[in-house]
Amino acid sequence: MPKPLFSPGRLLLANTLFTFSFATTVNPTSSFAQTTAPTFSATATRPENNAVLAPWAGSYGGVPAFDKIEVAQFKPALEAAMAENLKEIQAIASNSQASTFENTIAALERAGKTLDQVRTVYGVWTGTMSSPEVQLVEREMAPKMAAFSDQITQNEPLFRRIEAVYNSPDKKKLTPEQQRLAFVYYNNFVRAGAKLDAKAKMRLSAINQELAGLFTRFSQNVLADETDSVLVLKAPADLGGLPTSLREDAANAATARKLSAAGVITNTRSSIDPFLTYSDQRKLREKAWRMFVNRGDNGGAHDNNALITQILQLRAERAKLLGYATHAHLRLDNTMAKTPEKAMALMEEVWTPAVARVKEEVADMQALAKKEGATFKIEPWDYRYYAEKVRKERYDLDQNEVKQYLQLDKMREGMFWVAGELFNFTFSPVTNVPVYHPDVKVWEVKDKTSGKPVGLWYFDPYARTGKRSGAWMNAYRKQERIDGKPVTTIVSNNSNFVKGKDSVPTLISWTDATTLFHEFGHALHGLSSNVTYPTLSGTSVVRDYVEFPSQVLENWLSTPQVLQRFAVHYQTGKPIPQALVDRIEKAATFNQGFETTEFLASALIDMKLHLAGDQKIDPDKFERETLAQLGMPSEIVMRHRTPQFSHVFSSDGYSAGYYSYLWSVVIAADAYGAFTEAGGPYDKAVGKRLTQQIFSVGNTVDPAEAYRSFRGRDPKTEALMRERGFPVKDAKASKTTDKKAPGKKKG
């Protein structure tokens, strides 16, 4: 899942309405009932010797000076860059000449370069180096940044100029990309409240600033629970059932925290999930599970429930101000799905067979547990443990056996090889680029045939204190050629693998390897970009489309070409045996009830929370009662429980939009069918179409039209249902898109 850096200098044109950055938003000083909003002052002067403000210099078109950054530089740099950008905006808005694409839209594209770079560096620190000092800056700056954004989108003279270009009869003389850009600017300004009256604009800005604070408090609360809570394994017996690699990881975590213990399980998914899968200590499994699922829900200073209530009410009020029934309707109006009802229909279509499959999976686990002498009912902390036992019994497949062949470095090499075959890229390590942490490595990307530079790829693979959990992609710089000067992109992938000793290869699970390919798909989406204007570049597409390129790339992990060359045993160097690969393929649909249901539970709660309008919601109660109404199996918990649902409550990014992962999976499954129907996963003709019509076009083309160009038709759900082993319904009723409603939006 990417978390694109929002750039105020790009005027909210990332199509992610009201998103400021993944977690760069904070506790406001304004009250919940505020009806007036402060404005950001444009009087800040540019400080000298500030590395955050320094233009990116050096090779590769310039790179961030990560090695010179100091936390104390962020606030003055942000204030100076915003002030500079406001002056640029004012010059465009006050231009006495008639509005044209060049002096308005293109001028806006050229503005904010300094702020883009400042926000990029700031976003890296808040996402991966979030010390208490960084968090203090966040809490102070978020309301100012929200006010700054609103000053641009609510600038009436500026909007009138944008509107004039959009409505001009001369627009048809523009190139298709320029016409698309004019539409995107106009649409985003309208959705940001440009047409509201002065009083409504004032209230909208107050809401945005209030939300900015609540988002950051939410995010910092989750990070605090992840950082402060660990499961200490006191005695060797507490490591029972854990394979050697996990024992070593736990011991290393204890050493890193300077604890005298047999091991430590940290409160992140990359540590918790393997423990729940292999630990034979049921009471400890329950402790680990409760520690993880109760993040943000423990009462006290880091509890998120009251924040969620306020966020939901503010979003509902904002939606009404903007003329929408609910926040869900506001968010989906600018997507492929277009309406909450259409997204709900897809989720409900998959929910029923997924839950039915869960019942079968639980029955199998319960039977195995009983055979082993257990007298208890399967609980959520038992699911992964007994699922793994059933997998091993039924398919003779031990995930830990598979893990011995999945070395992180080798999987990375496999991704590079796939990128060479599908996208004609080469990756070469570079050491002359500053990094913000010793774990971060950098590669130069070039076209394999011409040797032409494509960009840089930064990789930050390991978990550490102050780094938010999960995996994501960022674009530090977008590809563009607005003035005929090609600007190459800089992208990064970020993960949270548990780092072992330097001399020992990091082994990852099959699920982790899949996630690695997924996030690399986002990076390739950015690296493949071939557009003129930065606002339309790379991953700047609609939310329920942006996950499609990443989802589709997951398919190449299991291809024989990757497994035979790169899935090699970490000790012997021998490739993974074909017999083991066959067992992996045979078990491909195993546990899909669990995987699908835990995701859909989160997606459905997200949508229903935002369809509830201005109801004052008790999050825990709403979650509990709604899941009961849905028939949620008691043996499963949501993948992201509401109090820790950062996708939805640390920004507006995926709010009423978590469904988009399923939407994108449908498209990805259907798209991969184009390869299987042709010459296979490395079919050159299909690969060329995928690059030219999907990965390279960014947001220059409506996504529904782009997909039809690639596939020749709209996507269908049948491929997903088959992929997960679910019953396939009548094909005529199984489509995700409508030719009459192409839609648009961001991810």
Among 652, 654, 645, which Cα is nearest to 602's? 645
Question: What is the Cα–Cα distance from 376 to 362, expressed in whole angstroms?
Answer: 13
User: Is it the case that residue 576 has pLDDT exceeding 80?
Assistant: yes
Residue range of the domain that includes 283? 229-294
Question: What is the Cα–Cα distance from 613 to 535, expressed in whole angstroms?
Answer: 32
Residues contacting residue 98 through CB under 8 Å, at least 6 positions apart: 164
Residues 188 and 61 in one domain: yes
- pLDDT at position 730: 57
Q: What is the mean pLDDT of residues 594-609?
A: 97
Q: What is the mean pLDDT of residues 530-544?
A: 96
Q: Quick one: tokens of 5?
A: 């850096």
Q: Are strands 230-233 and 263-266 parallel, antiparallel or unpaired?
A: antiparallel
Backbone dihedral angles phi then psi of residue 603, each to the nearest 5 degrees: -65, -40
Backbone dihedral angles phi then psi of residue 454, each to the nearest 5 degrees: -110, -40
State which H helix or E strand residue 500 sits in.
none
- Secondary structure percentages of the chain, helix, strand, coil, to 5: 55, 5, 35
Residues 184 and 242 in one domain: no
130-137 contacts, C-beta under 8 A, 24 or more apart: 130/23, 130/220, 130/223, 130/466, 130/467, 130/468, 131/71, 131/466, 133/71, 133/72, 134/71, 134/74, 134/466, 135/216, 135/220, 137/71, 137/74, 137/75
Question: What is the Cα–Cα distance from 445 to 427, expressed in whole angstroms?
Answer: 5
- pLDDT at position 330: 97
- pLDDT at position 39: 57
Residue with tokens 């929408």: 324
Question: What is the Cα–Cα distance from 568 to 564, expressed in whole angstroms?
Answer: 7
Q: Report yes or no on 412 lying in a domain.
A: no
Catalytic residues, by residue number, are 519
Q: Report yes or no on 111 lying in a domain.
A: yes
Per-residue pLDDT reduced to its tens digit, 692-724: 999 999 999 999 999 999 999 999 888 889 888
Give the whole-number percent of the chain exceeding pLDDT 90.
85
Residues 183 and 242 in one domain: no
Number of domains in the chain: 2
Residues 69 and 180 in one domain: yes
Which 3 state secondary structure label does DSSP give 413? helix
pTM value? 0.87
Residues 75 and 168 in one domain: yes
Backbone dihedral angles phi then psi of residue 188, each to the nearest 5 degrees: -70, -35
- pLDDT at position 17: 29
Q: Report yes or no on 159 lying in a domain.
A: yes
Q: What's the pLDDT band for 15 if we cut at 50, 70, 90? A: very low
Q: Quick one: tokens of 335?
A: 């997507």
Per-residue pLDDT reduced to its tens digit, 258-313: 999 999 999 999 899 999 999 999 999 999 999 999 999 999 999 999 999 999 99
- pLDDT at position 10: 41
Q: Quick one: tokens of 553?
A: 């790339």
Q: What is the mean pLDDT of residues 435-442?
A: 97
- pLDDT at position 201: 96
User: Is it the case that residue 637 has pLDDT exceeding 70?
Assistant: yes
Residues 159 and 65 in one domain: yes
Residue 472 and residue 460 in contact, taking contact as beta carbons nearer than 8 Å: no
- What CATH number is attached to the domain comprising 84? 1.20.1050.40
Q: What's the pLDDT band for 500 if we cut at 50, 70, 90? A: confident
Q: Which amino acid is at 318?
A: R
User: Is it the case that residue 467 has pLDDT exceeding 50?
Assistant: yes
Residues 124 and 256 in one domain: no
Q: What is the rounded average pLDDT for all residues in the chain?
A: 91
Q: What is the mean pLDDT of residues 327-339?
A: 95
Residue 422 and residue 671 in contact, taking contact as beta carbons nearer than 8 Å: no
- pLDDT at position 5: 28
Per-residue pLDDT reduced to its tens digit, 83-122: 999 999 999 999 999 999 999 999 999 999 999 999 999 9
- pLDDT at position 740: 31
Q: Report yes or no on 164 lying in a domain.
A: yes
Residues 97 and 160 in one domain: yes
Q: Report yes or no on 236 lying in a domain.
A: yes
Question: What is the Cα–Cα distance from 606 to 646, expressed in whole angstroms?
Answer: 11
Question: What is the Cα–Cα distance from 101 to 181, expressed in whole angstroms?
Answer: 10
Per-residue pLDDT reduced to its tens digit, 167-188: 999 999 999 999 999 999 999 9
Q: What is the mean pLDDT of residues 499-515?
A: 89
Final residue belonging to a domain, choices 173, 195, 217: 195
Residues contacting residue 721 through CB under 8 Å, at least 6 positions apart: 350, 353, 727, 728, 729, 734
Among 375, 377, 369, 358, which Cα is nearest to 637's? 358
Residue 408 and residue 97 in contact, taking contact as beta carbons nearer than 8 Å: no
Question: What is the Cα–Cα distance from 21 to 7, expressed in whole angstroms?
Answer: 8
User: Is it the case that residue 518 has pLDDT exceeding 80?
Assistant: yes
Question: What is the Cα–Cα distance from 474 to 459, expressed in whole angstroms?
Answer: 10
- pLDDT at position 548: 95
Q: What's the pLDDT band for 728 if we cut at 50, 70, 90? A: confident
Residues 233 and 289 in one domain: yes
Per-residue pLDDT reduced to its tens digit, 31-69: 333 334 445 555 667 888 999 999 999 999 999 999 999
Q: Report yes or no on 72 lying in a domain.
A: yes
Q: Report yes or no on 497 lying in a domain.
A: no
Residues 163 and 116 in one domain: yes
Q: What is the mean pLDDT of residues 226-232?
A: 95
Final residue belonging to a domain, choices 256, 273, 294: 294
Q: Which of 326-335, 394-403, 607-616 shows the lowest mean pLDDT across its residues?
A: 394-403
Residues 85 and 166 in one domain: yes
Q: What is the mean pLDDT of residues 232-260?
A: 94
Q: Report yes or no on 161 lying in a domain.
A: yes
Final residue belonging to a domain, choices 195, 214, 245: 195
Q: What's the pLDDT band for 436 if we cut at 50, 70, 90? A: very high
b/e map 217-239, b = 16+ CB within 10 Å: bbbbbbbebbbeebbbbeeeebb
- pLDDT at position 664: 93
Q: What is the CA radius of gyration of the chain?
A: 25
Residues 160 and 276 in one domain: no
Q: Which amino acid is at 15?
A: N
